[in-house]
Chains A and B, each alone.
Chain A
Amino acid sequence: MAKDEITKGYRLVGTRPNRPDGLDKVTGRARYGADFSLPGMLWAAVVRSPHAHAKIKRIDASKALALDGVKAVVTRADLPTGLEGEDLNLQENTLAGEKALYDGHAVAAVAATSQLLAQDAARLIEVEYEVLPHVTDVDEAMKPGAPVIREGAADYSVPEGMHPNVVRHMEFGHGDVEAGFAAADIVREGTYKTEATHQGYIEPHACVGQMGEDGRGEMWVCTQGHWYIRRMSAAVLGIEAANLRVTPSEIGGGFGGKTTIFMEPLTLALSKKAGGRPVKLVMSRAEVLRATGPTASASMDVKIGMKKDGTVTAGQVMFRMQGGAFVGMSPIGEALPCAFACYDIPALKHEAVEVLANRPKAAAYRAPGSPMAAFAVESLMDEMCRELHLDPIEVRLKNAAKEGTKSSYGPIYNRIGLVETLEAAKAHPNYAIRLGPNQGRGVASGFWFNHGGETSVSLAIGEDGTVQVSIGTPDIGGSRASIALMTAETIGIPYENVRVNVVETGALGVNEPTHGSRATFASGKAAVEAARQAIAEMCRRAAAEWEIEPEAVEWKDGAAQPAGPNAGKFPPMTIAEIGAKMGGTGGPISGHHETNAGGVGASFGTHVVDVEVDPETGRTTVLRYLVVQDAGTAIHPAYVEGQYQGGAAQGIGWALNEEYVYGSDGRLQNTVFLDYRIPVASDLPMIDTVIVEVPNPGHPYGVRGVGETGITPPLPALAAAIAEATGARLRSLPMSPPKVLAAIKAKRQA
C-alpha cells in the first residue's frame, strides 16, 4: 500500500478483539521468568556489596562450599579478562572486580540444591572490603574534591579542567542564541532537578540457565530482547553467540529495564561449574531496586527568551546527568534532542555532561531522557506563559513543530501530529471545567523519537489455511494482538486464524528488543511484508493450477482470484484450499522479512491535569487527567489507550512520589515497595484518553509507536498544576507532600 492510499476503511485494524494470550494470563497459566523449572535444577543467590564504594580485598567461599548441597561459587576470577567498552561495563556490573561501585553491586554468586540453601550459603561467603569515600549526587560528584570513581574514564569529548567524574560532554545547536535572547521581551532562567526512579515492573528479573563443559548453553529468561541477552551474556562469559540459545518467557513488565543483563550470565557460569546442572536465579525486590535499572538523576539549567505574544526566540539548556558508576549509561544523548523537539525555535544551544556516581548502572526507562528534559523546558515555558498571562496551549500552538520543520536536533520532520494533539486538548471538555480553591491545571507536551531497528519475522501458511507468525519482539502490552490484526487484515482472513508466537533466538535472525516503541511498528511492518511474500507465492500456486500468468492473479478477501475478465473465469481459490494442497504444488508456503526498519514516525502528545493540593499537608490529589497523543494509526485502540494510561501513571508517580533515597552512607534507603511508593489504585483517577491519528507515511498501516511519550508530560504538567493551585513553583522532583508544604510556606513568607 502506498502512503497516499492509507485510509480508515479497514476490516480489522482499529477493532478491539480479545488478545490471544488473555486466557493464559487470567488463569495463571502464562509462564513468566520465575515459573520455569527443569529436572535437576539448582537455585542461585548473589552476594552484594553493602558499601557504595569499596576495594574488594578478599573473597572466601570455603564455608559456603563446605555446606552439603552447595554446588558452585563464582566470582569475577571465574570470568574471562580483556573485555573492553560496554562489554567490560556489562561484565563489571555482573560481578564486581577490584572495586564495588555501588550499594548492591554483585560480588559473588552461589548455586545450591534449594533457594533457602543458596541464600544460607551466600551469607557464609566472606568478603573483606576497604571502604572508600563515595558520592551519589550528580552535582556533588562534579565538585572539586569529590571522590574519583574511575580514574581516566573520561572520553575525548570532555573539556579540560573538569572533574574526572565528568566522562562525556555533548553540545549542539543552531542559530544565534544571544541575538535570540536580545530579541525577546522576557528572558528567564531556572534550574531543575529530577531524582532517579525505577521502572518498577512487578516481575523481578528471573532466569534459568544451563551450560555444559563444552560451552554450549541455554537460557529461559524474562527479557524485552533475547538476542541482546544472548550477545551480552556471550560477551561477558567469552563464549560464542551461536552456542547460546535464549528463550524468552512471558514478561511481567519491562519499560526499558529488561533490555540488558544484570545477573543472567551468572546462571550459566554457575551451571558450568556445577557439572551442567541448570541453575535458576530470581531476584528479590530489594535486589531489583538496589542493582537494576534505575533511570538517571538530573540537574538541569534552562534559559528561554519569549516575546509578549508567546513567540519563543531562543532557548538554551545545560544538563548534568548521572547514570551510575558506568560510562555511557546516562541518557544525555536522548535528553538533549528531546528538550526542544516540540518547538520551532530560531536559535538553540544544547549542552550536557555525564557524571559518574556511586549508583547502580542505569538502564533505559520509557522515553529515556525525555521526561527530565520536559520537566525542565516545559516547566520554564509554563512559568513564562503565566508571567505573560498567555494560554499554555496557544503558546505551544504558536511555536509548535510541524511537517517540514527542521527539528531542534537536526532532521526535518515528516508528517507529525503535535498540532493535532494541542487542538484536541484545547477542545476537550476537561479543558473547560472551572476549578475551585486550592485547585490548579497544568498542560505540557512531550516527544519521543520512536525507533525501527533490526527486525526479523517469519510467517507460514498452515495446511488448513491458518497462519502462524514468528516474531522476535517479546509481547509486553498486547503486540501479538496488533500484529495478528495487521497480518489478518493484509491476508484477508479472520483475526482468529492468525497465531503470533514470540520465538527463541534459534528460530529467527537477530531482533532488537521490544524497545523504542518499536514492536508493533517494526515487527508489524515486517509481518505485513512477510504476508505479502506469502500472498505472492499463493497467487503463483493458483496461476499454475489455472495455467495463467501469475500477474493475471490478484489476492482479495483471503483468496486468489483472476484479475479481470481477460484472466479467465475461475472461482476464487481460498487460502484454505491453497494450504491443503501446497504439499503437491511446490511445498510449504511461507514469507520472511528482515530489515533495519526505517520509516519511523515521531511521536508527540499533550497532557492536561487538574489537581487539588491540601494546603495543610501539601498532599496533591489528581482530580482528572487527560492524555492526548498521536498514534499514527491505532491498530488495537484498547492497548493504545493502555499505553497512554500506563505512561501517564508512571509519570505521575515520578512527579509526586517516586525517588531513590540514598543515605549519607551511600546506601539505598528505600528498597521495598512500601518505601519506594509507586501509584496505587486509590492514588489515581480515571485517565481520559484521546487517540489522535495522523498516519505515519513510513508504515503500511500508518503506525507510529505509542509506548513511551506518555511518561514525559506528566512531570511538568503536574508542576504547573501545583503552581496554579498553590502559587508555589517546584523545580525539584518528586513533589512529595513535605516538599510541596515547604514551598507553600516559603511562598507565604515571601
Chain B
Amino acid sequence: MKKVHVTTNVNGDQVEFLADPRETLLDCLRNHLDLTGTKEGCGTGDCGACSVTLDGTLVCSCLVLGVEAEGKKIETIEGMASDGELHPLQRKFIEHAALQCGFCTPGILVAAKSLLDTNPDPSESEIRFWLAGNLCRCTGYDKIVRAVQDAAAEMRGAA
C-alpha cells in the first residue's frame, strides 16, 4: 500500500515518517522513529503497555493509526524525564520496587502521569480504576498503587 508522509510532534521534537496506512501509531513510534520504550503487549487495546498521550489524551497507541498523528502532539515514556531529572513517578517506581520485569512500566507510568495531571490526590480506588486498563502480571499492583500514592503526595508537597 502506498505510504503516507506524516509530520507530527513527539516529546517536543518535530518528526516525520512514512507510514503504511495500516500501521498503528505504536508501529510508527517503534519501527519508524526508534522509540521502542512504548511496548506492544496485545495489539487490541486491552493491556495498556502502549499507552501514550495524543494532544494530552491518554490513548493506546495500538488503537491509533500512524497517519492520525499528523499535526498532533504525542508524549511517550521517552519524554517523561526532563533535563535529566526523573519525574517523581519514575523515581518512586524504582524506590518502591513497583516493577519486576518492567515491561508494563512505561505504559503504567504514562497512564499514572495522566491521572495525576487531572487528579493530584487520587484515592486508592481511583488509582486502581484509572490503571485498570494497564495489565501487570508480575506485581499484583500493590507496590504500583503505593508508588503512585507516594509520588502524588510528593508532588502535592512540592506544589
Contacts and interface: CB of A to CB of B under 8 A. Distances in A.
Interface residues of A, number: 60
A255 interface: yes
Contact of B78 (A28, A34, A255, A680): A28
Interface of A is mostly: loop
Contacts of B145: 681, 686
A678 B91 CA distance: 27
B94 A23 contact: yes
A26 B137 contact: no
Interface in B57-73: none
Nearest to A644: B140
Contact of A674 (B35, B44, B137): B44
Given A19-B94, A252-B103, A642-B143, A202 B47 contact: yes
Contacts of B27: 115
B127 interface: yes
Interface residues of B, number: 62
Interface of B is mostly: loop
A255 B140 contact: no
Given A28-B76, A477-B100, A672 B37 contact: no
Interface in B107-121: 109
Nearest to A119: B22
A686 B142 contact: yes
A252 B97 contact: no
A638 interface: yes
Contacts of A284: 43
B136 interface: yes
Contacts of A687: 140, 142
Given A202-B103, A202-B136, A682-B132, A28 B43 contact: no
Nearest to A688: B142
Interface stretch (A417-425, A517-525, A645-653): A645-653
Contacts of A24: 102
Nearest to B144: A681
A25 B97 CA distance: 11
Contacts of B127: 681
Interface string A675-702: 0001111111011000000000000000
Interface string A198-232: 01111110000000000000000000000000000
A682 B145 CA distance: 11
A366 to B, nearest CB: 11
A323 interface: no
Nearest to A647: B140
Contacts, number: 188
A29 B76 CA distance: 12
Interface in A628-671: 636, 638-639, 641-642, 645-646, 648-650
B94 A22 contact: yes
Given A28-B106, A678-B135, A639 B128 contact: no
A34 B137 contact: no
Contact of A253 (B23, B38, B95, B137): B137
A149 to B, nearest CB: 31
A203 B94 contact: no
A476 B100 contact: yes
A739 interface: no
A686 B142 CA distance: 5
Given A26-B90, A202-B104, A253 B99 contact: no
A686 B101 CA distance: 20
A250 interface: yes
B93 A202 contact: no
B100 A681 contact: no
Contacts of B39: 32, 34, 202-203, 252
A285 interface: yes
Contact of A684 (B76, B134, B141): B141
Contact of A638 (B44, B97, B128, B135): B97
Interface string A11-37: 000001011011111111111101100
A472 interface: no
A249 to B, nearest CB: 11
B81 interface: yes
B139 interface: yes
Contacts of B43: 284-285
Interface string A571-609: 000000000000000000000000000000000000000
Contact of A680 (B44, B105, B124, B135): B135
Contacts of B101: 201-203, 250-254, 476-477
Contacts of A29: 37
A201 B132 contact: no
Contacts of A250: 101-103
Nearest to A200: B137
Given A25-B105, A28-B106, A645 B140 contact: yes
Nearest to A689: B142
A25 B49 CA distance: 13
Interface string A472-516: 000011100000000000000000000000000000000000000
A21 B99 CA distance: 10
B81 A204 contact: no
Contacts of B36: 28, 31-32, 34-35
B100 A684 contact: no
Contacts of A114: 20
A615 B42 CA distance: 34
B89 to A, nearest CB: 8
A482 B132 CA distance: 30
Contacts of B131: 680-682
B3 to A, nearest CB: 10
Contacts of A477: 100-101, 138
Interface string A242-279: 00000000111111000000000000000000000000
Contact of A252 (B23, B30, B102): B102
A412 interface: no
Contacts of A22: 93-94, 99
A189 B121 CA distance: 52
A413 interface: no
B127 to A, nearest CB: 7
A162 interface: no
A683 B80 CA distance: 28
Contacts of A200: 137
Contacts of B81: 27
A429 B35 CA distance: 47
Nearest to B80: A27
Contacts of A253: 100-101, 103, 137-138
Given A251-B101, A673-B46, A681-B134, 18 more contacts: A21-B102, A25-B99, A25-B102, A34-B39, A35-B36, A201-B101, A203-B103, A252-B104, A254-B101, A477-B100, A642-B138, A645-B140, A646-B137, A648-B140, A672-B46, A673-B44, A679-B140, A687-B140
6 contacts: A202-B135, A476-B100, A478-B97, A638-B96, A673-B46, A682-B129
9 nearest A-B residue pairs (beta carbon): A28-B37, A252-B103, A25-B102, A649-B140, A645-B140, A673-B46, A638-B97, A22-B94, A28-B77
